[in-house]
Chain A
């Protein structure tokens, strides 16, 4: 049965269905419905909804709950995520799995409250200080806002890394009919969790401090071996009309959704263009793009920022075809017509 839901509410409902009973948040537009939904539902389920005194506290509560071995999450929007970066780095350093939702708004500082994809670099390159990565998924529909929650929790727990659902104000605020999962979440044993020794085992320690450089380097190498496994096993992308594509749009999230309409319109005009929609942003879905290199004459990266993912596309294409960028920022969502005009310009240039 389909239900009509806002993206933010879908995230919250999916998290509850994924067995998450611990939510720690702080109000910020445009993600507040996640918290509001949790505040309403958690008490009925015997879970914890807690409005912290700051984003910093909220992420540290998640750090504590994740250390206790439960499924825990927080959600925020761009300026709030900056505040959470301290805690995110500690979670990376302590190998703690949890879910962080970023319903992005626009630009540095307070910026604006309209949708944006300006936190791509932050999410994929430097989620906190030190060598670190998160498992990052980018939904492009309310259905995916719900579906990716369980994937984020499972992947986070499997590899012991924090996960981020990188959405934006458009996906958070829009309503769509969705199908909600009825399946039981897959929970795994967490022998490292802090549950009390019962004086039956050696004490567990959750920590990210290692004063001796050779010890710390070994820990980083072990963590990066897990990152390599994630890169090998967890890349996801959607290839749309790419079978015969001479041109490709590369995008993610809300902007990829608009790009899909532009692809359809271009096809009507006889332009052989397809879309590579990146679903995981870290790991970057290199193998999906690599599979098109040699066939595609020109890549156009479309984003709602000043040009961020385009750098990763260029690295994968590695000079074998031109890679250009089209974006709107400041909270503006590009229109299909604008993207179509870019495709037409490129098609004309190449032919």
Chain B
């Protein structure tokens, strides 16, 4: 059974303007309904497979993002939603902004846009899901190697 059949997601709002957050929530609403793909918005890193971050990383939320990521069980993927999460966006040069999510975490999927469109977000999530299966495989192979 593939992990991708049941991707549970954790939505974290970095220093977003809330534009992308509203679009993320729109994905779970009747018009887009990501639950069609088994996606559940868990709100708990220990249950999540996908960490979906909107907004850039600033000095204050850096340790929080790192901690949440560390609490997620393997395999896991990170999706940066919106241009701010991708590289800092319009806030890039602010004194408190460190940059995009990739300044602290290994980002797997970038979903650009300001705000990112629901279609784009869903597309990103689906790609992330495909990646989960690959990671799952590599985790297994790592284990096998370690076993030998």
> Do A and B interact?
no
**Chain A interfacial positions (CB closer than 8 Å to B):** none
**Chain B interfacial positions (CB closer than 8 Å to A):** none
